[in-house]
Structure 1
Amino acid sequence: MAWLAPSDPFDVDQIAQPVAGIASRLVQHDSGWHSHGRGQLLFAFAGSIRITLPGAISILPPIRVAWIPPCIPHRVCIRSEVEYRSIYLDPARVVMPFAEPAIVTMLPLLREVFERISFQPFDTDWSQGAERNLLAVCMDELATARHEPMLLPVPSDPRLARLDLEELPPELEVLSQRVGASARTITRIFRRETRMSYQGWRQSWRLLRAVDLLAAGLSVTRSASELGFASDSAFIAFFRQMTGETPKRYIDKEK
């Protein structure tokens, strides 16, 4: 079984087989910045995970799979309790599913296959039999999974170092007063470093957080309040504008 306790030593780059799956449960964990020689597929079976990449952040709820390519520095933070699964792929022996970091929808069949692979022993032979078929189905499902706009670019300008990415970003004028830079300067920084206006970036942050809250089981009313909306209807209208669907339909479709 590839179930790991938090205290178990683990270096994926030392495993002989080209595919390694793990399952674990972590509470209030911060991995720190690190990288692997292998690509990583990461899935929060229960709970949500915050992922930081160079120049981008994402929140991974149980309806999404993250792909982190080989040798890409990243940081994984868990604020409560999360049961997660990871599959590591050796780029020398397995075709990588995507060239760049990606967040894709967790399809029902992909979820089942992901679970099977995550619990396979580290010495599993992936070149033949049922295991080879499992891996092939996993890669086929990833190829057809919908890419989600859940990787949010973040500016690196030191003037915005006070921007707390854990909380609802303030309105532009409030942020301007906090950092001591004009609204025009902040807008220019965001367009240059994220290719988005500040308002567009703030709305994308709200969507990222909204999916996280809804996937965690929070009601529309609670989610709307957490994200600073004046009413449920305002939140639903925002969500439909960003995704084309109501919050309930969007989350129910992914289960």
Structure 2
Amino acid sequence: MLISHFHHGPVSAHPHDYPDGAHQERHIHREAQLLYAMCGTMRVVTAQGAWVIPPTRAVWIAPWIEHEIFMSGKVCMRSLFIDPELSPANLSQCCVLAVTPLLRELILKAVQAPRHAKNPLIQQLMLEEIASLENLPLHIPMPEDRRLQGICLALLQTPDHPNTLEDWAQQVGASSRTLARLFQQQLQMSFNAWRQQLRLMEALPRLIAGQSVQSVADQLGYGSARAFSAMFRRLLGHNPREYLSALNQLSAINASR
């Protein structure tokens, strides 16, 4: 399904709120989209992979990428739609971005007063901010090889599955060396790195929903909360409590707007 926002101008801002469990069916648009989560967690899924967007973060969706969106918790979605000709050159693929306080204010202003989104100076400032945002490791790529697809789909359904790559090799009829090589060739990461990314994606909505670090660590197959926290810090730069505290502070600021 094609959805177009071009008639609103080169940059337009749109607010949408969704209840827990809501789903935007697969669709495409000719514009690029910066999808920002004021509150709630979203998961964007394409043929190439999945991206999880915690509150106060954003996902960049390149033009003409078919995608669907799943909501976890009440979601306050704020979107910028940008003419493809104005899209930053370094954002040719989907990715999760860390939104700066300045860009957050620009997005909220644009949503509240559409004239701000039409101001050429504000447009240029928004685009420069977007181009400079930090890319966060909240992406799960999907492979093309059918053997790897079987492994990845099984883990998507059961993220705490204990199988090693050697165990999977026996099930799919390929050597562990072949599978390791295919992971690097098709996904540019090892099997263990892919599984860590998946577990991080699964952990965020659970932590944001109020589950304890220990409970989430147990659910995702970690031997201890310390091991889980170490993985979390390695991928996101903060331990779970620090990360959630920062999210809560930003969410409180957004809620007061």
Q: Same fold by TM (over 0.5)?
A: yes
Deviation for aligned residue 1:44: 1.8
* Cα distance change, pair 201–83 in 1 and its aligned pair in 2 (3 A): same
**Corresponding residue of 1:18:** 10
**Corresponding residue of 1:6:** none
1:202-241, aligned counterparts within 5 Å?
202-241=195-234
Answer yes or no: is the 8 Å Cα contact 1:45–1:85 preserved in 2.
yes
Name the SS of the counterpart of 1:229 in structure 2: coil
**Corresponding residue of 1:3:** none
Name the SS of the counterpart of 1:163 in structure 2: helix
**1:46 and 2:42 are equivalent in the alignment:** no
* Cα distance change, pair 243–19 in 1 and its aligned pair in 2 (3 A): closer
Query: TM-score scaled by structure 1?
Result: 0.79
1:179-190, aligned counterparts within 5 Å?
179=172, 181-190=174-183
Distance in 1 between residues matched to 2:56 and 2:28, nearest whole Å: 24
**Corresponding residue of 2:23:** 30
Answer yes or no: is the 8 Å Cα contact 1:47–1:216 preserved in 2.
no
Segments of structure 1 that go 5 or more residues without pairing to the other structure are 1-9
**1:245 and 2:245 are equivalent in the alignment:** no
**Corresponding residue of 1:112:** 105
1:149-228, aligned counterparts within 5 Å?
149-159=137-147, 160-161=149-150, 162-168=153-159, 170=161, 171-172=163-164, 173-176=166-169, 179=172, 181-228=174-221
**Paired amino acid for 1:106:** V
Which stretch shows the higher mean deviation, 72-81 or 31-40?
72-81
1:78-93, aligned counterparts within 5 Å?
78-92=71-85
Name the SS of the counterpart of 1:82 in structure 2: strand
Answer yes or no: is the 8 Å Cα contact 1:113–1:138 preserved in 2.
yes
Answer yes or no: is the 8 Å Cα contact 2:73–2:209 preserved in 1.
no
**1:59 and 2:47 are equivalent in the alignment:** no
Deviation for aligned residue 1:57: 1.3
Query: TM-score scaled by structure 2?
Result: 0.79
Among the aligned pairs, what percent are the same residue?
30
Deviations along 1:33-59, one digit per CA (max 9) or x if unpaired, are 321110000012221111123322111
**Corresponding residue of 2:134:** 146
Distance in 1 between residues matched to 2:233 and 2:155, nearest whole Å: 26
**Paired amino acid for 2:221:** G
Name the SS of the counterpart of 1:139 in structure 2: helix
**Corresponding residue of 1:4:** none
Question: RMSD of aligned C-alpha atoms?
Answer: 2.8
Deviations along 1:130-188, one digit per CA (max 9) or x if unpaired, are xx444344233323322112222121222333425243152225544554554344333
Distance in 1 between residues matched to 2:229 and 2:192, nearest whole Å: 18
Question: Per residue, is there more helix in 1 or in 2?
Answer: 2
Q: How many residues are matched?
A: 240
* Cα distance change, pair 118–125 in 1 and its aligned pair in 2 (3 A): closer
Distance in 1 between residues matched to 2:177 and 2:8, nearest whole Å: 54
* Cα distance change, pair 80–240 in 1 and its aligned pair in 2 (3 A): closer
* Cα distance change, pair 216–80 in 1 and its aligned pair in 2 (3 A): closer
